[in-house]
Structures are given as C-alpha cells and as structure tokens.
A and B are shown apart, each in its own frame.
Chain A
Amino acid sequence: MITDIDFQIMWNRLISVVEEQAQTLIRTAFGTSTREAGDLSAGVYDRRGQMIAQAVTGTPGHVNSMARTVGHVLAKFPAETMKEGDVFITNDPWMGTGHLNDIVVVTPAHLEGRLIGFFACTLHVVDIGGAGSSRSFQVYEEGIRIPIVRLVEAGTFSETLLDTIRANVREPVEVLGDIRSEVAANAVACRRLARMMREFGLADLEALSDYILTRSKQAILTRIRALPRGTFENWMTTDGITGPITLKARVTVGEDGLDVEYFDCPPVVELGFNVPYCYTDAYTCFGLHCVVAADVPNNAGSLSAIRVHVPENTMLNAPDPLPVTSRALMGQLLPDLMLGCLAQIVPEKVMAEGSARLWSVGIAGGLGRVKADPALLAGSRRFEVSVFQSGGMGARFAQDGLSATAFPSGVRNISVELTETYAPVVFRRKEYRQDSGGPGRSRGGLGQSVEIAGTSALPFAVSTSFDRIQFPARGRAGGHAGARGYLGKSTGEVLPGKGYHQIDAGESIVIEIPGGGGYHDPRTRDPALVARDVRNGLVSAEQARAAYGVALTAEGAVDAEATRALRAGAGAT
C-alpha cells in the first residue's frame, strides 16, 4: 500500500529530479543568460500534460507560462503518436513562454516502453534572428518562429531543422549549443524519473500526480479562504511606450480561489511591448503566490486556484502576429499591481512598489550593429552581450527593501569582469545610488548608478527597455516613492528609456536605476537608523532632513532637539 508519507517522499524526489534537470541545463548551456544568470526553467508533467513539479532554480515568467506548453504539444501530437526518443521544440510566443528568444524543449518520458509523462525546459537564447530589439511591427520581423515540431525523432536529430535555425540566427553556435543542452537536461531527467519509478514500484505517475495536485490546491485554497472576502482594485501608471499607460486590475477573493480581472486594459501597441496571455498569467500568478502561499509548491494544482481574466486583443492579451519581443517590460510590472490589490487586506505581507522591471542592457557592436565606417567595422570584433541589472525592491512592512535586487525576475547578474571579457567595454561605475530608496519608516531598496564606456575607437550600441523613469515606484501607507530612473550619455544628452542607442567613441552611457518605494511615514523612522543610513552614505543629510525630519550634528549623530522640532513642524506644513 502506498501511504501518505510514501507520496510525500516521492514528491520530494520529483522536485529533486527537476532540480537536477535545471542544473544540467546550467552546466551545459552556452548562452550567458542561462549559465550565469539562471534565465531558465524546468519542470515535469503527467501524461495529461499537467505540470506536477518545477525546479526551484529558474525565473517565474518562464515557469508559469511553460506550465501550459505540454498541453499545446499534446493537442498537436496526440500521445499515441509519440515514440520513445522523440523530442519536441517550439518558440512560439503563444505556445511557449512569451517571445521568440525563449526556446522550449519537451521530451516525452517512457518507462518500459510506455509513455508516463513529460519533461519540459526553456531558456533564453542570445539571438533569434529578425530585426533584434523591439523595433518590429509584427512577430515575423522578430526572428525565426519554430512551431511545435519534432526536433528529435526516435533518437535522431532533425538536421533539416537545425540547419534552418543555424541559418537564421546571428550566434548559431550558442543557439544550437543551448538547444542541445536542453535536450540533454530532459534526457537526464527522464533517466532519473524512470529509476525513481522502478525504485518505488510505480507503473505510472497518475496517482502521484493526483496526490500532489490535490494537496497543493487544497493548501493554497486554505490560505486564500483565510483572507477577507471581497474585491480589491488597484491601478498603476507606467511610462508606457509612446505615452503613459495605466494598468488596472481587481482581485476577487472567493471560496474557490482568486480571480484576477484586468480592466480598462491598454490597447495593443505597434512595437514589441505586447504581452501574450501566457506571460501575463505567469507574472500575475507569481505576484499573488508570493503573498498568499509562498511555501506552497508551484504546479498545475496550485496554479488552478488563481484565474486570470484579460480582455482579448489588448496589450496584456496580444494576439498572434503582434510583436511581443519585449513582453517582459509590462509583465514584470504586474506583480507590483497585484501586491497593491492585496495590500488592502494583508498590508503586513506585501512590499511597496519596487523598480520591478530589470534594468538590463543589451550591448552590441561590430558590422551591422552600429553605424560607422564599414571599412573600419569590417575587421572589428562583433559582440552581443546582455548585462542584467536591478534597482531597489520596495520596502517591506517592517523591513527595509532590498537594494539592487531583481524582483519579480529571478535572474542574477553577470560579473563586471566577465562582461568586460565578452565585450570591449569598461564599466566606470556600478554602485549604490544615494537617496534612491524611497523614504519611509521602512526605507525602499536603493537603485544603482552605472556608467559604461567603450574601449575601442569604434562605437557600440545599447538596447534598453526601461520603465519607472517618469512614474516612480510608489510608497505605501505614507511612504515616499523611490527615485526615478534616468538614461543618458556622458555628454549630458538624455536618452529615451526604450530604444536602441549608439554610443560613440569617447562617450559613455549613464544609467541611474530606480529605487523602491518606502513603507509608512518616513517621519516615524527611528532617527538612529536614519543617522546610520547617512553615515553609510545611502541617504544624504539633506534627504534625512527633508524627508525623514531628522537633523544630524556635524559628527553625524542625531540632533534630538532639532529632529523633534522638524518632525513637530511637519504636520503644520
């Protein structure tokens, strides 16, 4: 008889199998975003295509969208047509994880010749052809699209497909290497799963899957039912593409879960900032999950307790063939919108708004990437690297926000020394940005101040899609907003946050990454903490005085009397 504890042990084992899948991916991948930054995801599915476990390693936008990919594969290739040794692939934004750069590989897992389930993984490849950056008007211009097809048939790679991909991307070695590493990661996981099932004497995964999904759903529903019932609305204005965009949503807490409804949804846009539904769904669920059930594993069971409704043909539910390459811009802002809904019922479990969007820059150079004398460029080094960077997270109810930390994205940065190895650039500065954390009793996390120059006599190009330049991360409950972001050149020229910018020799690009919002009135912050922040250079004496109402002596100690006066006067002004 299989007892409850047996199921629990098998559940743990399954999580360890997908973790091993993710680690294999990291070890063998070619693209820096996978191997250094962890921009990937891995998961196991039952025969019906339901995701039953996912690797802890990975990034939320991938994980929750990939949850549905196996279902799409099954819709096109029914289970009975699959052979042992088959591997499927797609980068269809609406079937995979939201844009063409993410390649999903799905491998059916067999035991004694019978299909028992699937492994899927996804990663972000450095280039997928097309125009590059978000300058396209249709998905066709964004690169090569691979529909759901067999990449490997009964153990043999489709050289036709590989050749086709090779001919369509700028970095074929990396891209094909990454695809092979996905196939290898799934293969390792299939072997581990088969061994686990033999060890536990399982013929299929269905009973285990039912146990996991039921348990997870029950657990998340228990948490949700403990929340006050009702519908809670929030809105957030973002810089937008050509003008400000206001996102609006309401979360309804009900008996059978959370229903999220986006309303007055912004219309689709011309350029690639549109978001396919799967990606909107992914980050919406992630934001709610963090607050409601951080310890409940993510799978089809727990995901089914959250339903996301988005009007069709809008920016957050953009249909094929709209351009979607920069879908992360809007997607990464959604958790803050969700946190704002829940702040009304569980203020102690949420953060103030944060910088949210990664402030990553793509750096490229060489022929075809920048405008310069083609004769000079012809012999020059071609390069293409991503620099992952983050601003400040929002303040927590009773803790300061984390500085220079990615949220909601789960990626890590790549060391400056390595980036300088991959591209002929030099970072002049990358450190905390004073006064960028939103003042509050809990202070928002700080952003960073970054400056990058070229090391050759040739220009280089920088592509960006930043937000929070006009509309900062707002504070909560009397907390102030975090500092706005800024993008410009060392010449003083201000650059738009979203675009493709050429930096000529002798110039550098200056990036001021936004900070997170504060929580509660800064004038209630312990003056000793303010003095410490000033001593550490995180807050200036001016901001201490103006925002926190804290006066310091020449030695940097709290001037208690002047502070009292400042704080008493605050109410009057």
Chain B
Amino acid sequence: MVDTATQQKWDKAAPLFDLMAGAGAEKRWEPFKRALFSKMDGRVLFAALGTGLDIAVFPPDQNITAIDISPKMLEVAAARIAAYPGDLQAEVMDVHEMTFDDDSFDQIFTSCTFCSVPNPIAGLQSLKRVLRPGGDMYMFEHTGSRYYPFKVMMHLMTYATRLIGPDMNRTTVTNVRAAGFEVLEVNNLFLDVVKTIHARKRM
C-alpha cells in the first residue's frame, strides 16, 4: 500500500519543485551528476525520478526504469521522459513496496532520494532485493554533517524542510550499510553534506 502522506506531500510540491530546486542546484550539481550517471550500464533502476531534472545528464541509449511515489511529479517529468534518447520507462511506485521481481536490475541510481524516503533502511533493503547479486548502487545524496556547527544547523533546518519536502539530517551512508550493502566509496562533494556513494550488493 502506497504511503499516501508522502505521496500527497510530493504531489503538492510538484508544481513549484523546478522553481525551487531547479536552476541553482542543478547547475551546481550538474558536473558531479553527469560523472556519476555516466556509469549507467545494463538494466538500470532510477529511484526516484521526481520532475525528471536529472534526465538532462543521463547518458543516451540506456535502458532505464524509473520510479517515483508522486504521480504529479511524473506528470511534470513527462516531457523530459519523452525527450530522452533511449529507453526510459517511468512508473508511480513506492520504493518500500516495489513490484519488480528479485534481482531484476544490474544497477540502481538515486539522486536526492533518501533525504525523503520515510523509512530509509527499509527502502534501501527493498532496493537491494531488486538488485542482482554483485550489482552496483550509485547514489547522489545530501545528508547531515558530523561537524559542528553544521550538524546543529542541519538538525534545526529539518524541522522546517520536512514539512514541505526533504530531511536535512539523514545518515545515509550508515543506512546503506545497515541495509546490508557493501559501501565501496564515499566522495564528499560539499563538506560531508553533499556526496556520492558507491555501494554493492554482496554475491
């Protein structure tokens, strides 16, 4: 059963999402995302697609299945999905309750996804289920910080941002490990807040 509270939150955010998160963040993160997504190969699952801002930096000619909990977000993404030069299928689906078979994908990509998934460890375990053994997961995420005063600031900011969107104080690297993945690399892009994570499902 879909988490309707989360779905409604992101449905509400959809019309203004590109305005708030689009130009500045995407311009700042574009080179890092382009480098990360250039690793796409084989059957790829992308969770969660949102309004499809990331599609602009997907490499062409890939076989990508994308999910998002919000139908309104995918409505905004529709034109970008249609314009992608490759096979990109998008479905409304809760990461906690995916209907894909076990070991369905060679790779999983996320982009600012686990700041928002209500139960991150369960969500990551769900991703692990559909990833083939030995398959890679590449994540572009923002998390809390271990350094003061940033740590306190991220906690305080979360009280406000959680109402309209993401948490700012997630412990995603720890969660990835707790979900049973092998963490191979963490690359801090801005402080220890914005980072890429490369993890693998053990054989």
Asked if A and B are interacting partners, one says: no
